Chain A
Amino acid sequence: MAEETTQTAGGPFFRVVKRSGISTPRAWLIRLAAVCCGLIVCALIIVAITKQNPLSVYAGIIDGAVGTNRRLWVTIRESLVLLIIAVGLTPAFKMRFWNIGAEGQVLMGGMAAAALMIYLGNTMPNWLLLMLILLASMAAGMIWGLMPAVFKACYGTNETLFTLMLNYVAIQIVNFCIVFWENPSGSNTVGIINSSTSKGWLPELFGLTYGWNVVIVMAVTLLMYIYMKHSKQGYEISVVGESQNTAKYVGINIKKVIIRTMMISGAICGLAGAIIVSGGSHTISTSTGGGRGFTAIIVAWMSKFNPLVMLLVSAFLVFMQKGAIQIASQYGLNENASDIITGILLFFLIGSEFFINYKLELRGTKRGTK
């Protein structure tokens, strides 16, 4: 790396050099530039399709995401859900365990919550029911995360593919339950559960409908931050992630760490399911996960597991999604436009990481000098 050579003519036009470090403001400047480029590309596409002034289109996006009090709170609620799933994925990814199964873990958690709401709705006080719901959903998500972890730990089974497949098993299980829970019967949907009694719904807090959502998600995020940064277990996770051989050498029980970490990861994703069902939709369907299990993977990875960045990225993505749905209905397009916009923004954000970690040197510049 240290050799001081000048690239001779005829070599590649530029070469890629790994940066030894980059200042935080500079990294953020690059990310900001990427977002701007992404927004410009999206604007071009929207304009090409709707033939409207791009500024009015973006005004429509802002209006759709935060235009009214209700929309603002829906955006906040959805951002929180994305955040908590990303937080749940953090320990697994830090351990280099590709948990692609958040979608399934969220669904299983949501299903456990819905089951308790339906079967125990009228048998106990609401606070007790809610406690049970939170615990049960965590247990359900934990089981879903535990299975691939055990096989990964014991046989080295590829966890990416295993967790991916479990998502679809979870979807079928939810379909199975919907057959028994559907209301009204024959509709093939569960409908709003306990709509008259509000049993098992997260109550208002400080007069805010989604007050508890904020409290729970923030608490989990904070705890996870402390766990990862300041606990022995959190340290073990990062050692296993960086190098399994090192972990073995210092006497860390890798199997135990993998299984324990995935139980935590699955449990938090399951909890996210309860927050979606008890604290938001009050129903269960195969789209309860809504692809957020996948989006959260991108959020967690792009944020480098920094909780503040995670919050920012989740809020930004949800903002754009909600906004895109609004402009879609405004201009009579279908709402999948939001997926296209999300996808394009993600491509730019993912691509920008390259320019943070590497720099391009043009032909003829000297290496090793600044």
Chain B
Amino acid sequence: MELILIFLQKAIAQGICILFGASGEIITEKSGNLNLGIPGIMYMGGIGGLMGAFFYEQSTAEPVGLVGLLISMLATLLISALGGLIFSFLTVSLRANQNVVGLALTTFGIGFGNFFGGSISKLAGGVGQISVAVTADAYRAKIPGLSQIPVVGDLLFSYGFLTYLSVAIAILLTFLLKRTRKGLNLRAVGESPATADAAGISVAAYKYVSTVAGAAVAGLGGLYFVMEYLGGTWTNNGFGDRGWLAIALVILSIWNPARAIWGSFLFGGLYILYIYLPGLTRATQELCGMLPYVVTIVVLIFTSRRNNLESQPPASLGEAYFREDR
């Protein structure tokens, strides 16, 4: 029982950064932009927040957690939005191929994160690892009172606020996509930009806004990882392939952020399952590690086989739109 509880807690903790990434990528993809730069953007968001908190904590003798929290969050949003802006500028304004730009952005973003993560404290004249304990504690603060309840408190209320924010964002985005005029327009842009254009919707504006906003949301996943998961420090490549898992989760959730919530917990569980399954050898642990990807492939095959209109990727996904190209 104890073990299952810990497993569930850890699975949720693993799932949150994937959920942020997937939510961001879903609204991006709904506009027809397949942003493969998300893994890089999540690195950029993570290091951006860490650097914001780092410079703040360096500059004052008595850092306040809440101020560090706000500064780092703002830094994350700005830097990851910048990543989205680079992507939109190259693919929407300059009509470059989305896959190519996305992969370049991932190369850039991972390098950006590892470079500054590895050398920021050195560049700032310090020694050793970067560490922002005060800000990280603010991120890790649990809900007082509720988290004391046995079992339920551990399972539901033992996380920092970013966890609840990620779920709230996912639900909000689903509402936005399904229930509002703007969401309808956005889906129209992703399904058939020419039709949307003819109906007077600004295709470029929708693509820009959704991609930049999506990148900012995804960046929060990186922030969650460095602050709540790692406790305010950086390990090179520590974020690993979670960014790609986020893209996988987009498929698993069939482009629906609300469905990505339980999907992210499932992925989080699969991601760490090998630690908790009894009787695994080192070799079978590694095989267990491929589960999230295999599950995604199976889902991908089934959705394409069922050929159900509701569960397809946006029709113009990955294609640039130029009004005169028809």
Binding site for B on A (CB under 8 A): 1, 16, 18, 49, 98, 100, 151, 155-158, 160-162, 164-169, 171-173, 175-176, 179-180, 291, 294-295, 297-298, 301-302, 332-334, 336-340, 342-344, 346-347, 350-351, 353-354, 357-358
Contacts and interface: CB of A to CB of B under 8 A. Distances in A.
A353 B96 contact: yes
The 10 tightest CB contacts between A and B, nearest first, are A339-B111, A343-B108, A172-B290, A354-B94, A334-B118, A336-B114, A346-B104, A157-B304, A336-B115, A175-B286
Contact of B289 (A100, A166, A175, A301): A175
B290 A158 contact: no
B161 interface: no
Contacts of A302: 100
Contacts of B262: none
A169 B96 contact: no
Interface in B278-308: 281-283, 286-287, 289-290, 293-294, 296-297, 300-301, 304-305, 307
Contact of B110 (A173, A175, A339): A339
Interface residues of B, number: 55
Contact of B248 (A165, A336, A346): A165
B309 interface: no
Contacts of B114: 334, 336, 339
Contact of A166 (B105, B111, B251, B297): B297
Contact of A164 (B94, B247, B294): B247
Main secondary structure of the interface of A (DSSP, over half): helix
Given A165-B293, A338-B111, A155 B304 contact: yes
Nearest to B306: A155
B129 interface: no
Contacts of A346: 104, 107-108
Contacts of A171: 241
Contacts of A164: 36, 244, 247
Given A160-B318, A161-B247, A347 B111 contact: no
A31 to B, nearest CB: 14
B266 interface: no
A342 B103 contact: no
B236 A161 contact: no
B101 interface: yes
Nearest to B89: A351
B99 interface: yes
Contact of A343 (B111, B286, B287, B322): B111
B194 to A, nearest CB: 16
30 contacts: A16-B322, A18-B325, A49-B123, A98-B99, A151-B301, A155-B305, A157-B301, A157-B304, A161-B251, A164-B244, A165-B244, A165-B293, A168-B241, A171-B241, A172-B286, A176-B287, A179-B286, A297-B103, A334-B114, A334-B119, A336-B115, A336-B118, A338-B111, A340-B112, A347-B86, A347-B90, A350-B90, A350-B97, A350-B101, A357-B95
Given A295-B107, A334-B114, 16 more contacts: A155-B305, A158-B251, A158-B300, A166-B297, A168-B244, A172-B286, A295-B103, A297-B103, A298-B100, A336-B236, A339-B110, A339-B114, A343-B107, A344-B108, A347-B90, A347-B108
Most A Cβ at <10 Å: residue of B115, B119, B304? B115
Contacts of B36: 100, 164
A274 B37 CA distance: 29
A158 B119 CA distance: 39
Contacts of B105: 343, 347
Nearest to B115: A336
Given A1-B324, A336-B114, A168 B293 contact: yes
A298 B115 contact: no
A165 B301 CA distance: 12
Nearest to B296: A165
A314 B10 CA distance: 43
B293 A169 contact: yes
Contact of A350 (B100, B251, B287, B297): B100
Interface in B111-167: 111-112, 114-115, 118-119, 122-123
B63 interface: no
A165 B300 contact: yes
B251 A169 contact: no
Most B Cβ at <10 Å: residue of A18, A98, A165, A358? A165
Nearest to A295: B107
Given A298-B100, A350-B104, A333 B115 contact: yes
Contact of B96 (A161, A166, A351): A351
Contacts of A157: 300-301, 304-305
Contacts of A350: 90, 94, 96-97, 100-101, 104
B101 A161 contact: no
B34 interface: yes
Contacts of A297: 99-100, 103
Most B Cβ at <10 Å: residue of A291, A302, A346? A346
